[in-house]
Structure 1
Amino acid sequence: MSGLASLVGLAGAGAWAWLLTMRGGFWRVEPTKRFPSPEGWPEVVAVIPARDEAETIGETVESLLSQNYPGTLSVVVVDDHSSDGTAQVARDRAESMGCAARLTVIAAPELPEGWTGKMWAQSQGVAAAMVWRPEAGLLLLTDADIRHGKGELRHMVARALNQGLDMLSLMVRLRTESWWEKAIVPAFVFFFRMLYPFAWVSDSRSTTAAAAGGYVLIRPAMLEKIGGVKAIKDALIDDCTLAAAVKAHGGSLCLDLAEEAVSLRGYDGPEGLWKMISRSAYSQLRHSPWLLLGTVLAMLLVFVAPPLLAFRNGGGASTGALAWAAMTLAYYPMVRYYRQWPFWAPLLPLIALFYLGATLHSAVKYHLGQGGEWKGRVQDGKTA
């Protein structure tokens, strides 16, 4: 057993040495670059699919309509069969600001077979936007639970024009008010960046493509080039699927952490966070039992085994402690980005077990035909 423990310890330490040096610096959190203002500002239309979002849609609409963007900015809200008055809340907020002319609200038609709900609503919103504002040079695809910082769009458009980018995305700062959110949410972003190093996403030589669906700025011509939203109509992980399609068609990307934009959605304790992970985890693994098995083994080796070895006497203790220290140092910048106490960083192994459990649950739900549930719709289930 001592020999096996030593081998596991060496493997864990080696894995962290590779991750820290060869994985695109995914663990670094650096300030967002700023770019000079262009001579002219293109017209932008924000498209928001919304299903039962009365609690947050007003703040989202207000934050967009109060941007300090020098160009023209309009907003399209697509009411996806809401039962809570979402559409009226959006209209009322725009009117209270004196901006009713810059907002249009449309109702999504019935969901056709083969589409996910969000993609269908988004496709209707994009179509309406291009009819209403045909001269728009950029589309902002966003969610109904985002509070946008006043200067974020201005900075993103300046970057798009200066770097000639076809698509830009921000991972908005998720809510971390409860203790469960403090524990789980920063790790979600950390694991995402480990899967999709942002530096590789921005590198045209790399095939890595990713985006965060809460904030996607894209050129209409690029969206049309890939076949429109219809090209990703059944995607559960729609943001990364869109990014992959853009990159496959020769488009240029960038993905960063947001400085100002924040999510307004709470997760209602461990159950809500569990559902957030479980909803798409098995889809991320392409519904492959082998990829699931590999993920389980990798998570146990890289995250769980190091602290277990560090606390034992004998072989593997020193390498386990070394791997745990490397893991803690790698995770700390994300903990700091979320303005949390440093003691969360060494607790990542326990947090990883939560993610591992939710991933296994995701596979079970899929095979029961109940995967990808969102707002009362099951969107990712194995059919008989």
Structure 2
Amino acid sequence: MDTLAWFALGSLVVWVWLLLGQGFFWRTDQRLPRAAGDAGGRRSVRGERRGTDRKPPARTEQDRWPRVAVVVPARDEAGVLPSSLPSLLTQDYPGVAEVILVDDGSTDGTGRLAAKLAAEHGGLPLTVVSPGEPEPGWTGKLWALRNGMALARARGPEFLLLTDADIAHEPDSLRLLVSAAVENELDLVSQMARLRVVSFWERLVVPAFVYFFAQLYPFRWINRTRPLATAAAGGCVLLRTETAVAADVPEAIRQAVIDDVSLARAVRRAGGRIWLGLAERVDSVRPYPGLGELWRMVARSAYAQLRHNPALLVGTAAGLVLVYLVPPVALVAGVVGGDGVAAWAGGAAWAVMAGTYTPMLRYYRQPLWLAPLLPFTAFLYLLMTVDSAVRHYRGVGAAWKGRTYARPEAAQDR
């Protein structure tokens, strides 16, 4: 056999291992756990068991549900707030809840628009705060979360919902999140919001983004009683307040660019239980119509994911080539050159690759003919990752909405 055939066989072996040994990452069945009853019911029973034999005073439906503060960091989000903020204000939550929007130095009237939307839609009370520019050593989002969470904790909520300004929630989203956390005794419940998929480039790149994330952090491994991986999705995180205090969040991760993974690791170090899955009732409304917008989204944090390590960058590039690019090249070259082993192994690896991608395309309601195009999408991600490293060494690292973090810290393993 020639060299290409050996590479094709190696790629096939890797894909068989990914299919069976990487936590079934390709399956899309990790959805928000449903509670047997409502959150308040079980919570009230626990309270009665702690008390005396006296009959406890009657509690209203509102009393039985934990108090929640929703914290929304927002910087120049006037374009998406009309589609997202009303969905939070009108949550059908039986307990006491409020929304705190942290206007992080916006120049487009984000704070004023938020107040206007609250006046128009009513619902949960809204507080808008503007903490000013981040102190040295803080990324913008985590600085905004620090101030919003501090204000929220002063009001005594049991849970904090940390959600991005571009995330729209169905009316029962908060109730289901809290119910899942209480019933399953979870400290952090996170959902990977369903990202917008409308344009050609969104169709090509976005489902693959979630597919690659799940491959790196298999949801089943995260959700095990004895977890094998740790991660969260920053767009929608329900966090117990006492756990946030115990984990020293967000101070402990104040420089992290990949803040969601860093947050999950901090919670895990504090002994918290974590759950992560795909959302059914939570959607991102932020558009990425062109390749340029998607490129910047990936490139601003890809090298941070590799801890700014050149060796990891080289290894990642080699792995992407072997796993995603060798199969189609081997199939075509094998057919043209008469190398049956290369053609067979490359075709089989490509078929397994496309098969594992199919569930994610179904989740995003996309045509299945996109599955064989995954090698091309992986090639784009390879270029984005290399570009992320180039940006880092040029000193323009992670740039987002007018702020640049030249040497940001990666997610820490402490």
TM-score normalised per structure 2: 0.89
Tell me the equivalent position of 2:128: 105
Contact 1:175 1:263 in 2 (8 A): yes
In the other structure, the counterpart of 1:234 is: 255
Matched, 1:41 2:65: yes
Aligned length: 379
2:178 is the counterpart of 1:157: yes
2:353 is equivalent to residue 352 of structure 1: no
- The verdict on how the C-alpha distance between 1:382 and 1:234 changes in structure 2, with shifts beyond 3 A counting, is closer
Alignment of 1:270-285 (within 5 A): 270-285=291-306
Q: CA deviation at 1:294?
A: 0.4
Partners of 1:255 and 1:84 in 2: CA distance: 33
Pairing partner for 2:226 from 184, 197, 205: 205
- What code does the residue aligned with 2:18 have? L
Cα deviation 1:52-100 (Å, max 9, x = unaligned): 111112332210111111111200001111111100111111111234x
**Deviations along 1:317-367, whole A, 9 cap, x unmatched?**
101100000000000000111100110011100000000000000000000
**In structure 2, what is the equivalent of residue 379 of structure 1?**
405
CA distance in 2, matches of 1:199, 1:300: 26
Q: Is the 8 A contact 1:65 1:73 kept in 2?
A: no
Larger Rg belongs to: 2
2:341 maps to 1:319? no
**Letter in structure 1 aligned against 2:159:** L
Deviation (angstroms), 1:41 = 1.3
Any idea what the Cα deviations from partners look like across 1:143-193, whole Å, max 9, x if unmatched?
111111112221111111111000010010101110000000000000000
Contact 1:207/1:247, CA 8 A, preserved across alignment = no
TM-score with structure 1 length normalisation?
0.96
| Distance in 1 between residues matched to 2:235 and 2:370, nearest whole Å | 26
The one-letter code of the counterpart of 2:110 is T
Matches within 5 A, 1:320-339: 320-339=346-365
- Please state how far the C-alpha of 1:31 moved relative to its aligned partner: 6.3
Corresponding letter in the other structure for 1:92: K
1:186-211 CA distance string (max 9 Å, x none): 00000000000001111242341101
Query: Percent of aligned positions with the same letter in both sequences?
Result: 45
Q: Which amino acid aligns with 2:134?
A: L
> Which residue identity does 1:197 align to in structure 2?
P
1:382/1:151 Cα in 2 relative to 1: closer, same or farther (>3 Å)? Answer: closer
**SS of match in other structure, 2:281:** strand
**Which secondary structure does the structure 2 equivalent of 1:211 belong to?**
coil
Q: State the partner residue of 2:150.
A: 127
1:20-169 alignment, distance < 5 Å:
20-30=19-29, 32=31, 33-35=33-35, 36-38=37-39, 39=41, 40-99=64-123, 102-131=125-154, 133-134=155-156, 136-169=157-190
* CA distance in structure 2 between the partners assigned to 1:59 and 1:298 by the alignment: 39
Q: Deviations over 1:21-58 (max 9, x none)?
A: 11111000116232121212111110011111111123
Moved more, 374-383 or 247-256: 374-383
* Matches of 2:392 and 2:318, distance apart in 1: 20
How big is the alpha-carbon RMSD for the aligned residues of Structure 1 and Structure 2?
1.4
2:97 partner letter: L
Work out whether residues 365 and 381 of structure 1, in 8 Å CA contact, stay in contact via their aligned partners in 2.
no
How far does residue 6 in structure 1 lie from its aligned partner after superposition? 1.7
Q: Structure 1: how far apart are the matches of 2:278 and 2:78? A: 26
Q: 1:25, 1:253 → 2: CA distance?
A: 18
Runs of 4+ in 1 over 6 A off after TM superposition: none
- What is the CA–CA distance in structure 1 between the aligned matches of 2:362 and 2:291, rounded to whole Å? 22
Tell me the residue number matched to 1:303: 324
Residue 368 of structure 1 contacts residue 381 of structure 1 at CA under 8 Å; is this kept in 2? no
Alignment of 1:10-29 (within 5 A): 10-29=9-28
- Bigger Cα displacement from structure 2, 210-219 vs 244-253: 244-253
Provide the rounded CA distance (Å) in 2 between the counterparts of 1:31 and 1:364: 36
CA contact (8 A) 1:367 1:382 kept: no
Following superposition of structure 1 onto structure 2, how do residues 1-12 of structure 1 map, counting pairs within 5 Å?
A: 2-12=1-11
Q: Runs of 5+ in structure 2 lacking a partner?
A: 42-63, 410-414
Equivalent of residue 393 in structure 2, options 339, 361, 367: 367
- Unpaired runs of 5+ in structure 1? none
State the Cα distance separating 1:228 from its structure 2 match: 2.3
Equivalent runs, 1:260-279 vs 2, <5 Å: 260-279=281-300
Query: Per the alignment, in what secondary structure is the counterpart of residue 15 of structure 2?
Result: helix
1:291 to 2:317 alignment: no
- Structure 1 residue identity aligned to 2:384: A
Mapped to 1, the partners of 2:385 and 2:249 lie a distance apart of 31
Alpha-carbon distance between aligned partners in 1 of 2:102 and 2:82, rounded to the nearest angstrom: 14
- Secondary structure at 1:378 match in 2: strand
